[in-house]
Amino acid sequence: MPSSIYHVCETPYAYPLDEYRLNVRLKVRRGSATSCQALYADRYDSPGTELPIVMEKVGSDRYSDYYEVVLPALKRKVRYLFLVQMNSGDSYWVGERGTFAQRELAGSYQFPYLCRNEIPRVPDWAKDAVFYQIFPDRFSNGDPSINPANVQPWDSPEKPTPQSRYGGDLQGIIDRLDYLVQLGVNAVYLNPIFDSPSNHKYDTTDYYKIDPTFGDLNTFKKLVQQAHERGIRVVLDAVFNHSGDQLFAFQDVMKNGEASAYRDWYYFDAYPVTQEPVPNYETFGNGIATMPKLNTSTPEVTRYLLDVAEYWIRETGIDGWRLDVANEVDRRFWQLLRERVKGIDNQQLLVGEFMHDASPWLHGDQFDGVMNYLFREAALDFFARQNIGAETFIELLTSLQMRYTDQAYSAMMQLLGSHDTERFLTACLNGGRGWNSQETALARMRLAVCLQMTMPGMPVVYYGDEVGMDGRTDPDCRRPMIWDENGRDAATYEVFRSMIALRKQHASLTRGSMRFVFADEANNAFGFLRQTDGETAYVVINNGTHPYTVPALPLRDRLGESSMVDGLTGERYTLSADGQWITAVGSHPTAAAFGC
């Protein structure tokens, strides 16, 4: 049925990979087509010169198959159309005029020019990044002389409240850099560190000052320098949706009302400005008086915030920004931010905070990637709550990947939890059909980590997950880091460490394509391939309760006869022509395998 075929000549269905290659995607009702091809030509070449090229079925979600191909665009100007062969025996031409049985009626899509400054580009290092997220007040106290008043003892049995302070600081992070090196991460994302009255610092008082309970400019410069010496990049949290109510501009309007030069910096309903019982101005969230929303359509506000972004890059050498509440700020602002930041250094990373779909922000003109909370949601369902099976899970993952460009997907922060959510381990303890034992919950989380570390995107470890910390949502997910060996789960740490090491050893895991090869619903297992020109990784996730024999057959067509090495044990296997595993020592592979 023709209406089951979908394509538009725009991101993510048509987008340049570089100046000479156009990636095109076609969505077809699941199972309805036997093959798809694209026909392409230079736009100025005469009709009839189109070359056919077979499209690859790259994945499926619940109701759709996705086909993809890279069209060469040697002169940067491409026209193309598709020919879809249906199961029914019919075939259809798909072009800018629609879907027709006759080629002449369909017309061609035009990608007029692969403009250099419209190619989605992300920093080269993003593909290799493994992040560690630090909530500074809770990570490590390296300088007790700057503790805020009333700090809780680090090992206090009391749970954190929205107000508690523990005295974590920048010197503490510096002191623990070697710990991060041992874990294997190569980037840190710090929650806000600028001057602010709260423990979380999302209510900025001074964008140009490090919070004095965290350190000062010199401590921060030292942190960046020492992190860089160890190959660790540093990304800061930028809170540009709102300021704190102590920021000079808001204070000026509080004092001078309508006469203030800063009255257009915010959204005031009336004057004088009142904060109680409810604020008479726009805020973050629902009437949070201490977080007045900034008006980024006012040029002075934009200029001010862009200067802030530039200052910290130039002054301290940070590697990028995570942008808070990114979906509530106008897109023009993010475009301007990108221009400014990438103009300084195109290797700066810009990651938006999105708890939902982020497609409109990932066309290459705003963010490189986003915090991929939708990945977390899917992982919660599959590993922790166990309310979906392997088929649904890979459908969700495919649907997530197909909504973004490859470039954006490689710069996604693939997280299992954050300072805003329940910890993944706690979800695993509480998941499925009731309360699980610690061992079961840890095993589920470790399996999720195996997936996280073998997927495209930038995996993020939320501080403490690697030693088995638990915690319900904010503020409980922000307990102080456990440094005492007795409180740390050594086996969990080892899974994180070894999976990060595995990722870093294999280019296929960071740069390879991603293709699911099977989903075994009954046994709750699935497998996928990550492939570069030189290497193939075959990853199998067994979410069932029994040992699982990895099926070799689906690989035969793709890989032919080949040799695989178990990525975790080093054992070697041969895939024979009849699709059987042959192994020197006689056991069957049950884990990730790597081959050439």
- Host H or E run for residue 237: strand 233-238
Give the residue with the Cβ less far from ligand ARE, 202 or 404: 202
Rule CB under 6 A: is residue 288 a binding residue for ligand ARE? yes
Rule CB under 6 A: is residue 591 a binding residue for ligand ARE? no
Would the CA dihedral through 315, 321, 326, 330 be positive or negative? positive
Dump the DSSP string for 290-354: TSBBB-TTSHHHHHHHHHHHHHHHHHH---EEEETTGGGS-HHHHHHHHHHHHHH-TT-EEEE--
Task: Write down the least CB distance from residue 460 to ligand ARE, Å.
Answer: 13
Task: Write down the least CB distance from residue 513 to ligand ARE, Å.
Answer: 31
Give the residue with the Cβ less far from ligand ARE, 283 or 510: 283
Rule CB under 6 A: is residue 507 a binding residue for ligand ARE? no
Strand ranges of the sheet holding 187-190, from the earlier edge strand across to the other edge: 369-370, 349-352, 320-323, 233-238, 187-190, 131-134, 458-462, 413-415
Q: Which stretch binds ligand ARE (CB under 6 A): 282-290, 338-346, 434-442, 577-585?
A: 282-290
Cα(445)–Cα(383) distance, integer angstroms = 7
Rule CB under 6 A: is residue 282 a binding residue for ligand ARE? no
Rule CB under 6 A: is residue 475 a binding residue for ligand ARE? yes
Rule CB under 6 A: is residue 159 a binding residue for ligand ARE? no
Cα(412)–Cα(401) distance, integer angstroms = 10
- Helix and strand numbers (H, E) in the chain are 15, 28
Q: Which stretch binds ligand ARE (CB under 6 A): 204-212, 284-292, 295-303, 404-412?
A: 284-292
Task: Write down the least CB distance from residue 288 to ligand ARE, Å.
Answer: 5
Q: Which stretch binds ligand ARE (CB under 6 A): 212-220, 281-289, 376-384, 423-431?
A: 281-289
Q: At what angle do helices 217-229 and 299-316 cross, to 10 degrees?
A: 60
Cα(23)–Cα(14) distance, integer angstroms = 6
Q: Binder to ligand ARE among 211, 353, 422, 465 (CB under 6 A)? A: 353
Cα(575)–Cα(108) distance, integer angstroms = 43
**Of these residues, 68, 245, 353, 489, which one is catalytic?**
353
Give the residue with the Cβ less far from ligand ARE, 349 or 370: 370
Please name every residue paired with 413 in a beta bridge, in sequence order, or none if there are none.
371, 458
Q: Binder to ligand ARE among 234, 238, 325, 455 (CB under 6 A)? A: 325
Q: Binder to ligand ARE among 200, 293, 444, 506 (CB under 6 A)? A: 200
Rule CB under 6 A: is residue 351 a binding residue for ligand ARE? no
Give the residue with the Cβ less far from ligand ARE, 199 or 492: 199
Task: Write down the least CB distance from residue 236 to ligand ARE, Å.
Answer: 13
Active-site annotation holds for 324: yes
Give the residue with the Cβ less far from ligand ARE, 177 or 288: 288
Rule CB under 6 A: is residue 202 a binding residue for ligand ARE? yes
Give the residue with the Cβ less far from ligand ARE, 133 or 171: 133
Please list every residue from 94 through 133 that binds ligand ARE, using CB under 6 A: none
Rule CB under 6 A: is residue 474 a binding residue for ligand ARE? yes
Strand ranges of the sheet holding 513-520, from the earlier edge strand across to the other edge: 513-520, 525-531, 536-542, 593-595, 562-566, 572-575, 581-583
Rule CB under 6 A: is residue 194 a binding residue for ligand ARE? no
Rule CB under 6 A: is residue 278 a binding residue for ligand ARE? no
Q: Binder to ligand ARE among 14, 239, 390, 525 (CB under 6 A)? A: 239
Task: Write down the least CB distance from residue 190 to ligand ARE, Å.
Answer: 12
Cα(395)–Cα(413) distance, integer angstroms = 20
Task: Write down the least CB distance from residue 44 to ligand ARE, Å.
Answer: 47
Active-site annotation holds for 65: no
Rule CB under 6 A: is residue 168 a binding residue for ligand ARE? no
Cα(102)–Cα(95) distance, integer angstroms = 11
Rule CB under 6 A: is residue 284 a binding residue for ligand ARE? yes
Cα(35)–Cα(558) distance, integer angstroms = 17
Cα(29)–Cα(495) distance, integer angstroms = 39
Please name every residue paired with 566 in a beta bridge, in sequence order, or none if there are none.
593
β 320-323/349-352 pair status: parallel
Please list every residue from 547 through 586 that binds ligand ARE, using CB under 6 A: none
Please list every residue from 9 through 68 that binds ligand ARE, using CB under 6 A: none
3-class SS of residue 563: strand
Please name every residue paired with 72 in a beta bridge, in sequence order, or none if there are none.
21
- Both tokens of 185, joined, read 């991460």
At which residue do the structure tokens 């080629």 appear? 103
Q: Binder to ligand ARE among 61, 68, 195, 324 (CB under 6 A)? A: 324
Closest CA to 502 of 532, 539, 471: 539
Cα(184)–Cα(51) distance, integer angstroms = 47
* Cβ–Cβ < 8 Å for 27, 6: yes
Give the residue with the Cβ less far from ligand ARE, 40 or 135: 135
Closest CA to 283 of 264, 302, 271, 268: 268
How far are the Cα atoms of 1, 83, 208, 437 from residue 90, in angstroms, in the given order?
Answer: 9, 11, 65, 55
Q: Which residue lies nearest ligand ARE, judged by its C-beta?
A: 202
**Of these residues, 61, 245, 324, 470, which one is catalytic?**
324
Cα(409)–Cα(365) distance, integer angstroms = 15
Cα(580)–Cα(589) distance, integer angstroms = 11
Q: Binder to ligand ARE among 420, 476, 535, 571 (CB under 6 A)? A: 420
Give the residue with the Cβ less far from ligand ARE, 143 or 328: 328
Q: How many residues bind ligand ARE (CB under 6 A)?
A: 15
Rule CB under 6 A: is residue 419 a binding residue for ligand ARE? yes
Give the residue with the Cβ less far from ligand ARE, 39 or 374: 374
Rule CB under 6 A: is residue 285 a binding residue for ligand ARE? yes
Task: Write down the least CB distance from residue 170 to ligand ARE, Å.
Answer: 19
| Residues with catalytic function | 324, 353
Residues lying near ligand ARE in the complex (CB under 6 A) are found at 162, 200, 202, 239, 284-285, 288, 324-325, 353, 355, 419-420, 474-475
